[in-house]
Amino acid sequence: MQLPLHEMCESLSIIVGEWRGSGSGHYPTIEDFEYTEEVIFGHSGKPFLTYGQKTKNAKNGDPLHSEQGFVRVTGDATLELVLAQPSGIVEIHQGSFAVNASACVINLESIHVGTSPTAKPVNRVHRLLRVDGDTLTYDVAMAAMGEPMQHHLAATLERKQK
Ligand code: HEM
């Protein structure tokens, strides 16, 4: 039985659901790339949202990046994000959000990025998500591979209708 959304998460109910779309990525150390993406923001009735993401290479359908985490709602306009990537990177973010009946902006800055001994070096990550009706867009910037903070990803997803 699905419990109702926890009252702490009600203000972010606009992002709960399944999202599908595509994006593109770049960084000075790699070739530009295009990807398709599925994102699920779910909940279990507790004061956090679950976050699951997986991507595929848009050219050949091969699996690409994926990540799993939790959005912890900490106040009326504040939140934390914890997530892990199979590439050996973990991110802890602190952030804020602004929401109205049909739109939402979430701004997240990493306060800690951990890398396993064999992971590529990542020092800081900035994530900006926007929901406008049934469209979710985001940008991810990172300071990694010895490079200063700069853009890595932009994507646009549409809400999967039930
Ligand atoms: C939609 C999500 C993402 C996709 C589709 C994606 C895709 C890619 C691709 C295709 C590459 C180049 C090939 C490779 O090294 O595997 C790459 C490199 C990289 N990505 Fe991402 N990425 C995503 C998210 C992230 C995030 C969130 C971070 C860090 C927090 C990150 C950090 C890196 C790093 C450090 C590299 C290595 C760059 C290098 O080798 O010079 N990526 N990514």
Domains located in the chain, CATH noted: 7-159 (2.40.128.20)
Mean pLDDT, each 10-residue run in order, the chain (162 residues): 92 97 98 98 96 98 98 96 98 98 97 98 98 98 98 98 78
Q: What does the pLDDT read at residue 153?
A: 98
Q: How far apart are CA 85 and CA 68, in angstroms?
A: 7
* Contacts (Cβ under 8 Å, ≥6 apart) of 162: none
Q: How far apart are CA 12 and CA 99, in angstroms?
A: 8
Verify whether ligand 1 is closer than 6 Å to residue 27 (CB atom): yes
Verify whether ligand 1 is closer than 6 Å to residue 122 (CB atom): yes
Q: How far apart are CA 65 and CA 67, in angstroms?
A: 7
Cα-based torsion angle of the residue sequence 120, 95, 27, 155 in order, rounded to the nearest 10 degrees: 120
Q: What does the pLDDT read at residue 161?
A: 84
Cα-based torsion angle of the residue sequence 29, 30, 33, 37 in order, rounded to the nearest 10 degrees: -80
Residue nearest atom 3 of ligand 1, based on CA coordinates: 65
Residue spans of alpha helices (H) in the chain: none
Residue nearest atom 36 of ligand 1, based on CA coordinates: 120
Q: How far apart are CA 11 and CA 18, in angstroms?
A: 17
* Contacts (Cβ under 8 Å, ≥6 apart) of 89: 113, 114, 115, 116, 119, 120, 122
Q: Which of 88, 99, 81 is nearest to 140 (CA)?
A: 81
Token pair of 12 as six digits: 């972010």
